[in-house]
Structure 1
Amino acid sequence: MSRCKQLRCWKLVLGSWLVGSAIGLAVSQTFASSDCAFAQITPDGTLPNNSRITPSGNSSIIEGGTSAGSNLFHSFEQFSVPTGSTAHFNNALDIQNIISRVTGKSISDIDGLIQANGTANLFLINPNGIVFGKNASLNIGGSFVATTANAIGFGNQGFFSATNPNTPELLTVNPSAFLFNQMSAASIQNNSVAPAGLDPTGAKTYGLRVPNGRSLLLIGGNINMDNGKLRAFGGRVELGGLAGSGTVGLNGNDNNLSLSFPDGISPSDVKLTNGAGVEVRADNGGTIAINARNLEILRGSALLAGIAQELGSSDSKAGNIEINALQAVDFKDGSLIFNVLTPGATGQAGDVNITTGSFVSDNSQLYTLTNGKGNAGNVTINARDSVSFISPENSGFNGILSSVRPGAFGNAGSIKITTGSLSVRNSSLLVASTNGVGNAGDVTINALDTVLFDGVGNPSFSSGAVIGVGPGATGNGGSINITTGSFVARNGALVGGDTSGSGDAGSVTINARDTVLFDGVGSNGFSSGVVSRVKPEAIGKEGSINITAGSLFVRNGAQLDTSTFVQFGNAGKITITARDNVLFDGVGSNTNNTSSSQAISRVNGVTGNGGSINITTGSLTVSNGGLLSVGNNGQGNAGSVTINARDNVLFDGVRSSNSFSSGISSSKESEGTGSAGSINITTGSLFVRNGAELIASTGGQGNAGSVTINARDTVSFDGVGSNGFPSGAFSQVGARATGKGGDINITTGSLSLTNGAQIGVDIRGQNNASSNVTINARDTVLFDGVGSNSLPSGVLNILGYGAIGKGGDTNITTGSLFVRNGAQILADTYGQGDAGNAIIHARDRISLDNARILLNSLGTGVGGNIKIQAGNLTLNNQGLISAETSSTQGGNITIGLQDILLMRQGSQISTNAGAARAEGDGGNITINSPLIVAVPREDSNISANAFTGRGGRVDITATGIFGIQPRSSPTLLSDITASSDFGVSGEVTIDTLDVDPSLGLVNLPTVPIDTEVAQGCYTGGAQAQSKFIITGRGGLPPNPKDVLTPDTAQIDWVSVKPSNNNRALPPVTTKPTTATPKRIVEATGAMLNAKGQIVLTANSSTVTPRTSRQNLIQCYGS
């Protein structure tokens, strides 16, 4: 007996003794590795025409079998192919399907070559299990199917079973299903790395391979690949199986086979590890499909599809990678899912579609790229529970990349994730970008519960979702659309994208049912947030940011940014809608980034318009350096900031690092044309405190923006920040600017400016039009106190030094106005222009207590005019109303009151001119009040004086004037003056109803009781009497028979000392008054005039009597 036959006999004996055992498998593999190896194939004799095995060298020639139409059936007791051996199916060329079953109890161990003739498809069925060793290989002309199913079905004709052998006479149709009736189907293991010829590009390839365009299917039990490879270039590789009983459908035609897994079955697990790979790349087609309970792709394993290098045409379309894992997909350790258009390729890359319970990508990459001419594919993940991307520290890229690479032509694909919760951490990324010629893709995320982007694992990049246009690229950025319950981006995570090429940046839209949080700065210095920017080297315009949520929190240096830095391009809009509240708070804590938490839309280039910021919410808080910023430093307008807050808005504090204020900034910063945007706030109550500011400014040729506040209840500005800046709202025009300032308009229930807070307009440029401050407060306006910076609370409307133009007006309409403790209403001019006007209407009262209303001109312009209408006006503790000028004409003051003007403790009303001891006429003062009251010795004054110019005019209409009187010049008493030190004095005119206080004592009538009042009827006895009472004046008792009571005040007369200077006495005029009252005559009769009116008469007239409907009143004398 030959040595080969002896070895074969030993192998058969040992194999029968140790069949099914691990020892038997090891021994079989030992013998199979000998130089003279044979396939271990034994027919089972169950077919009408049984299989025949003929050895030929190291090959086993398989012939015979039972034919049914184009199907050829083989049935074996065992079927294994040891290392170095060949199992050759010597079939007729017209056979389409070779179906081989193993009915014994041993697994099939394939570590050699399986070969067949022609283009027949080969099916290997072994319910005991199948192992492909590292040397296993295929040389067949059709598709290859390996399965551990119990049987294979043939439509309605029956099935070919390995566990219950049957006769296949009528099974003439193509196989249609795999039947599993085991509780746990056996597994299939593939470790093949055997040489497999050349791939379509001419490179060497390895593993189990079927001809190009054909299918390679493994149907378990579990499918395990440990460094093994499967190749079906341009064809289909499908992995899957069942963990229990059920049926898996088989579909296809002669060349292409695929599986169908019905709902309700229990799939098995699939695992690829240690560099295992599946590849289908070619010039067209190529699909990978995996159906599993759990799929693991580990330790550098890969799924590769797409158009191979330098292959394809415009009609080429790569197939997809389809993954269905009932429970989980674990994608880890540098593994790769890859469906790309490789360099030089032409066509359309395929998609990657994953459906599972949970998906985890850990330091792995999922690519759908185009490196050639054609579009990249899309990535779609549907994970019922969660999707997670995580990277170790300092690792490479982890996540999804759908991109147009440099030099490529085509569009990037889109990324769509639908899940319960999404987590992207430690520099993991979702990228749909373009770096070639073509558009970036979209990123769409739908997460029922949460979306989290967190942290920096690699200093080169942050976690995030990116839709950028790279340097040198041509194309537009895509869009990011996120819908979830709650959204978080923290520790440097970014959502959005920049454009550094030629194209527009994409837009970002976030819809969160509950909260959206952007928090902190990453270890690489990048701010968390949303960006849609155009970089300096780019050409294009910004995208927009749209956030809708229950609440939005932007904290600790996080940012929303749609700025542009290009020569030509517009900044994008930021739109926020939050049902409950919005918060911008704090600054970054990283030493490389101490930026404010902010929403920013700015133009930093040459030409373009800034974007707007629009916030609609319940409550808005911007604090600790938080900022809403729009601006433009080139040619173009800045955007506007619009806030609609149902409940309240709070701006509070300054940033700790560099003392920038919290608030809103709308600026036009350069010398280019264009205007700053407006600031518009509508809310229940507005609070601005601790140095926070609302600023609309211009430093160029354009106008500053306006500030408009509508608050249903309260507007409060309070305090000074740690940087010394007051809380306030301002419209500013810089020193070199030529635009006009914007208006400030406030409509509210109550307004307060306290502890140094200010609102106003500051013009320092060459302005030709005024800007106004308008306040409408239904109830009260309060300006109170001086700040820690020694600056007063109040309204400022200033034309600064060097400015050209007219100061703006200040208009206040309210119920009551209180200005106290050093507060001011100021509309001064220091430049070449007139001071603005102040118009104040107070339904009830105005009180100035140690406070001032100043509309002075300290430059070359005229002082402003002040017009006051109120119920009463109180000036106390050096309260001042002033329209003075330094060297020109003073402004005018007009006061109309319903009750009283009360001046106490050195208060002043002044339109003096020549405060710098220069020329200028005093302005005019007009006062109309029932009563004007001052204390003589408190030096409270009404003055329209001048230095070298003419004194102004003082016109007073009052019922009574007490404690203050006209004088030729100011004294230490309470005065009314219109004098001039070196010019012509002005005029004081006082109009009272019956008394001229300039005439001294009042002449009383000699008869105490005016007898002209006659008694018409006398009532006698105890009848009730009517009364007519005359109240005495100036210390007289009500009745001549009464005596003065001891507590009656006595008013002393004061003699004025003659003046020794040469100034002219201002003329004091009074309107003529009647010396004696007109005689009152008692009515004694009545008549009816021609109009049917009753007229009382002194003498009876002869009239025709007519019946009256009233009884005549009878008078009875004694």
Structure 2
Amino acid sequence: MGSAPDGNGGFNPSGIFAAVEAKGQGNAGQIRINTQTLTIADGASINSFTRGQGNAGNIVIEASDRVSLVNAIGGIDSSVTRRGVGQGGNIVVRTAVLSLSEGSSITSNTNGQGNAGSIVIETNALVIEKAPTQNTLPVYGAILSNTSRQGNAGDVVIYARDSIFLDNGLISSDVLDGGSRSDLKGVGRGGDVRITTGSLKLTNRSQLLATSSGQGSAGNLTIEARDGIELDDSSLTTSISKLNGSASIGSAGDINITGRSLVLTNGGNLLAVSAGQGNAGNITIKVQDHIVLEGGENQRFTGIASSMLPGGVGQGGNIQLTSGSLVLANGGLISSATSGQGNAGNITIQTNWLDLNGASQSGSLVGIVSVATSESKGNAGNIDIMANSVAVTNGGVVAASTNAQGQAGNVTLQVRDRLLLSGVSPKGQRSAISSETEKNGTGSAGNITIVNPKTIRIENGAGIFVGSQGIGQAGNIRLAAEALSVDRGFISAETTSTNGGNIRLDVTDAIVLRNGSFLSTSAGTAQAGGNGGNITINTSAIVASARENSDIRANAFTGSGGNVRIQAEGIFGIQSRSQPTPESDITASSQLGVQGEVAINQPDVQPAQGLLELPTTPIDASNQIAQTCANRTADRPIGEFNITGRGNLPPSPIDPLTGTPILSPLATLDPTTASYPNSPSSLSRIGAKTPPPARAEWRSQPPIIEAQGWIKTAEGDHPGCPGSRSHTHSSIDRSPVSLHPNFNHQESYEQTPKQQTNDSLCDANGDRHLAMRDTGINTTCNRIAIKCVITRSTSSNTL
């Protein structure tokens, strides 16, 4: 279908029309086309409209292969004209492939007193591309529905099973202003845009819009993309705008996105804004895998934003993101802001991995921000983040701020694993988590709460801070983690002229401060008033290096110093002082006011105050143990055992301390069954009844007296000597004793308690001996710990 010659050297557009003409009454007819391929080109069109008092007809096109519109502005159109009173017709296109090129469009609109019809497209693939330019501006290929009078715009519903691709394309449903003509001002509601597809890709300034510049609310944008959404230098927008000096009345629509992934690059963005007398829309995104916001060289805004613009009267919309991972880089930004008379919306993020990398080529801010600007009269929104791990690096930020009379928002992070803040951007922006009142702000800063991470690391110029550069109050900081490390970083609740905020740290393990790091609630940093805030720390230990000037301070200039309360088992390398010094200090001082208080609560018994450097050469344990039993010339050691007794001595200098062992009874020396060192069977088993061999000749030694039990003395439990006859006792826990796993028999000893007088086996010199029955083993032991070297004179077996 194209244009035809008019007989005068020109061309008349060809087309298919169904209409209710002016002064006509009644409905226009339906247009139905069923074909394999349909091409509408070079100004040809299919139209259904009403100029009278009746409804326009529907347009239904079914093409099994393809529908192509080429250079066909208004190629398929349903409308209610300015004098029309009636409903616009619906447009339905069902085909395998729908292609719009060179500025072609499918439109449904109303300029009269009726509603525009809806547009419904069912296809495998939708392509809008090759837009021409006119006066250096592109002429969009478009699918749109709008109203500029009293009726509502129609919905745009697109189902594309495989894909949708827009290159300089437009899909929208709008309430129009009508320009300078007062009789052409939309007062109806904008329609919704609903898209369901496999993948959606927009590039080269393409747009999906649901807007209102009239007196009606904008519609919603809803997108479900099974495989993912990609916006490159393109946007999705719901808005209430302000044109020709008059504010729109109505609320912006919501943006709802679900799918596998969302990628915004090179100026790709999602916007919900209001400059009129209505609320900005909410933005809700739920994707299974990743969300990536990454700017480019064109320096256009890349990110997600909900804003109340100057002149707007209403509340900013909320932003809620749920994803497997969220990555912001090179100018990527998530923003909730107000420059109007309402509050900014809240930002809520739930993800496994959050990465904010501020290393931007253009120097643009990277991060998650909530702002009340100097033109606003409302509060900044809150920021809530729930993640497994969070990394804020190279100048990335999570920040809430106010530069007006409103309050800055609160920032809350629930992190299950790791929180890292590190570095500054090429332009000097610190990596930070903050809530702040800026210089011209009169409102208070918000609070920062970070809970549950296993580790928090703040390093290389990064910091966590609440503060006030104006007359507003600083907020408070609360951190609860297993471990906290601050290396060339800071945690601050400082103010220039008002009271400092408070800091509370609950850290299970240790707090480590290195290389000039500080925890501060100081006030009056501009040498002005304000009392220092309070610092409360509960931790196992605080560790710093004395010479690195890492401080904990709650100081003031003209006001009173704050209070510092520390509960710790140990404090190393940092100490309380009345005034700051070049070393690592804990201070609550005031230059012109009352000193604060530093209270440190530590256990009565605590480690030495300071860190000692361990020797680099380990001790040789072999020369630290006395050989209490000398070897016989003909014998050689076959093993040894240690009995620590109740003194809890370790088995050796390199072994851990053991608990008190159960006391075992001593063997009796039965001369009829005792084995001797030269006996081949002496180690076969304990209690064996093998007849003894010929007695070996022993070197002289003091006589052995059988041990009878134990006594308790002032030095503790140890074997008694014959001289201790005045002590009586009962034998206890006479359990079996085994000397080696190869012994296959254990002898049970007498269990009946009995009174004894001789308490040990002692020689004439008072040295104790133990004799074990049927083993041929003799031991000699010292007084404190029983240490015995076991010897035998044969080499057949070793113990």
Using structure 1 for the length normalisation, give the TM-score. 0.52
After superposition, the Cα gap between the structure-2 partners of 1:994 and 1:680, relative to the gap in structure 1 and judged at 3 Å, is same
- CA shift digits 1:693-739 (9 cap, x unpaired): 1111111221101111111x211111254543211111111213221
After superposition, the Cα gap between the structure-2 partners of 1:770 and 1:914, relative to the gap in structure 1 and judged at 3 Å, is closer
* Aligned match of 2:37: 386
After superposition, the Cα gap between the structure-2 partners of 1:1081 and 1:832, relative to the gap in structure 1 and judged at 3 Å, is farther
1:673-684 to structure 2, matched below 5 A, reads 673-684=313-324
Query: In 2, are the aligned partners of 1:466 and 1:495 still within 8 Å (CA)?
Result: yes
Percent sequence identity over matched residues?
36
Q: Which amino acid aligns with 1:762?
A: S
Match of 2:386 among 738, 747, 757: 747
* Aligned match of 2:414: 776
Query: In 2, are the aligned partners of 1:533 and 1:561 still within 8 Å (CA)?
Result: no
The RMSD of aligned alpha carbons is 3.1
How far is 1:672 from its partner? 4.3
* Aligned match of 2:543: 933
- Between Structure 1 and Structure 2, whose CA radius of gyration is higher? 1
1:236-635 to structure 2, matched below 5 A, reads 364-371=14-21, 372-383=24-35, 385-391=36-42, 397-405=43-51, 408-420=52-64, 421-428=66-73, 429-435=75-81, 436-447=84-95, 449-456=96-103, 463-470=104-111, 473-490=112-129, 491=131, 492-520=140-168, 527-536=169-178, 537-566=185-214, 568-586=215-233, 596-604=234-242, 605-635=247-277
* Aligned match of 1:646: 288
After superposition, the Cα gap between the structure-2 partners of 1:543 and 1:720, relative to the gap in structure 1 and judged at 3 Å, is farther
Asked if 1:913 is matched to 2:518, the reply is no
Match of 2:308 among 648, 651, 668: 668
- Report the Cα distance in structure 2 between the residues aligned to 1:834 and 1:299, rounded to whole angstroms: 75
After superposition, the Cα gap between the structure-2 partners of 1:915 and 1:732, relative to the gap in structure 1 and judged at 3 Å, is closer
1:787-826 to structure 2, matched below 5 A, reads 787-813=425-451, 814-826=453-465
After superposition, the Cα gap between the structure-2 partners of 1:632 and 1:648, relative to the gap in structure 1 and judged at 3 Å, is same
Q: Which amino acid aligns with 1:735?
A: S
After superposition, the Cα gap between the structure-2 partners of 1:756 and 1:980, relative to the gap in structure 1 and judged at 3 Å, is closer
1:1009-1088 to structure 2, matched below 5 A, reads 1024-1026=643-645, 1028=647
- CA shift digits 1:816-850 (9 cap, x unpaired): 222222122222212332111122122x3222222
Query: In 2, are the aligned partners of 1:626 and 1:655 still within 8 Å (CA)?
Result: no
* Aligned match of 1:724: 363
Query: In 2, are the aligned partners of 1:640 and 1:678 still within 8 Å (CA)?
Result: yes
Using structure 2 for the length normalisation, give the TM-score. 0.71
* Aligned match of 1:691: 331
After superposition, the Cα gap between the structure-2 partners of 1:759 and 1:509, relative to the gap in structure 1 and judged at 3 Å, is same
How far is 1:745 from its partner? 1.1
After superposition, the Cα gap between the structure-2 partners of 1:817 and 1:922, relative to the gap in structure 1 and judged at 3 Å, is same
Q: Which amino acid aligns with 1:579?
A: R
After superposition, the Cα gap between the structure-2 partners of 1:632 and 1:641, relative to the gap in structure 1 and judged at 3 Å, is same
Q: Which amino acid aligns with 1:749?
A: N
After superposition, the Cα gap between the structure-2 partners of 1:655 and 1:571, relative to the gap in structure 1 and judged at 3 Å, is farther
Q: Which amino acid aligns with 1:662?
A: T
How far is 1:373 from its partner? 1.8
Asked if 1:866 is matched to 2:503, the reply is yes
- CA shift digits 1:625-682 (9 cap, x unpaired): 11111111111111111111111111110571xx321111211113443101011111
- Report the Cα distance in structure 1 between the residues aligned to 2:302 and 2:583, rounded to whole angstroms: 49
Match of 1:1117 among 744, 750, 760: 760
1:169-184 to structure 2, matched below 5 A, reads none
Secondary structure, counterpart of 2:643 in structure 1: coil
Query: In 1, are the aligned partners of 2:317 and 2:344 still within 8 Å (CA)?
Result: yes
After superposition, the Cα gap between the structure-2 partners of 1:924 and 1:864, relative to the gap in structure 1 and judged at 3 Å, is closer
Q: Which amino acid aligns with 2:224?
A: T
Secondary structure, counterpart of 2:126 in structure 1: strand
Query: In 2, are the aligned partners of 1:755 and 1:784 still within 8 Å (CA)?
Result: yes
Query: In 2, are the aligned partners of 1:570 and 1:611 still within 8 Å (CA)?
Result: yes
* Aligned match of 1:69: none
1:95-244 to structure 2, matched below 5 A, reads none
Q: Which amino acid aligns with 2:67?
A: L
Query: In 1, are the aligned partners of 2:483 and 2:511 still within 8 Å (CA)?
Result: no
In structure 1, runs of 5+ residues without a counterpart are: 1-295, 303-332, 336-362, 392-396, 457-462, 521-526, 587-595, 871-897, 1001-1020, 1032-1037, 1039-1078, 1085-1098, 1102-1109
Secondary structure, counterpart of 1:514 in structure 2: strand
Query: In 2, are the aligned partners of 1:819 and 1:849 still within 8 Å (CA)?
Result: yes
Q: Which amino acid aligns with 1:993?
A: P
Match of 1:852 among 470, 490, 506: 490
Query: In 1, are the aligned partners of 2:445 and 2:472 still within 8 Å (CA)?
Result: yes
Secondary structure, counterpart of 1:937 in structure 2: helix
How far is 1:962 from its partner? 2.9
After superposition, the Cα gap between the structure-2 partners of 1:676 and 1:494, relative to the gap in structure 1 and judged at 3 Å, is same
Query: In 2, are the aligned partners of 1:578 and 1:617 still within 8 Å (CA)?
Result: yes
* Aligned match of 2:566: 956
- Report the Cα distance in structure 2 between the residues aligned to 1:442 and 1:1111, rounded to whole angstroms: 103
- CA shift digits 1:886-928 (9 cap, x unpaired): xxxxxxxxxxxx3333333333333333323334433333333
* Aligned match of 1:945: 555
Query: In 1, are the aligned partners of 2:202 and 2:231 still within 8 Å (CA)?
Result: yes
After superposition, the Cα gap between the structure-2 partners of 1:1080 and 1:673, relative to the gap in structure 1 and judged at 3 Å, is farther
Runs of 4+ in 1 over 6 A off after TM superposition: 996-1000, 1079-1084, 1110-1116
Query: In 1, are the aligned partners of 2:225 and 2:260 still within 8 Å (CA)?
Result: yes
After superposition, the Cα gap between the structure-2 partners of 1:1080 and 1:954, relative to the gap in structure 1 and judged at 3 Å, is farther
* Aligned match of 1:64: none
- Report the Cα distance in structure 2 between the residues aligned to 1:797 and 1:377, rounded to whole angstroms: 62
Query: In 2, are the aligned partners of 1:556 and 1:597 still within 8 Å (CA)?
Result: no
After superposition, the Cα gap between the structure-2 partners of 1:770 and 1:642, relative to the gap in structure 1 and judged at 3 Å, is same
How far is 1:387 from its partner? 1.2
After superposition, the Cα gap between the structure-2 partners of 1:558 and 1:918, relative to the gap in structure 1 and judged at 3 Å, is closer
Secondary structure, counterpart of 1:827 in structure 2: strand
After superposition, the Cα gap between the structure-2 partners of 1:512 and 1:998, relative to the gap in structure 1 and judged at 3 Å, is closer
- CA shift digits 1:464-490 (9 cap, x unpaired): 1110113xx211110000001001122
* Aligned match of 2:374: 735
After superposition, the Cα gap between the structure-2 partners of 1:981 and 1:934, relative to the gap in structure 1 and judged at 3 Å, is same
Equivalenced residue count is 612
- Report the Cα distance in structure 1 between the residues aligned to 2:203 and 2:264, rounded to whole angstroms: 10
* Aligned match of 1:160: none
How far is 1:971 from its partner? 2.5
- Report the Cα distance in structure 2 between the residues aligned to 1:632 and 1:806, rounded to whole angstroms: 25
How far is 1:1111 from its partner? 6.5
- Report the Cα distance in structure 1 between the residues aligned to 2:501 and 2:384, rounded to whole angstroms: 20
- Report the Cα distance in structure 1 between the residues aligned to 2:751 and 2:159, rounded to whole angstroms: 84
Query: In 2, are the aligned partners of 1:505 and 1:534 still within 8 Å (CA)?
Result: no
In structure 2, runs of 5+ residues without a counterpart are: 132-139, 179-184, 611-639, 651-656, 658-712, 719-727, 731-749, 762-799
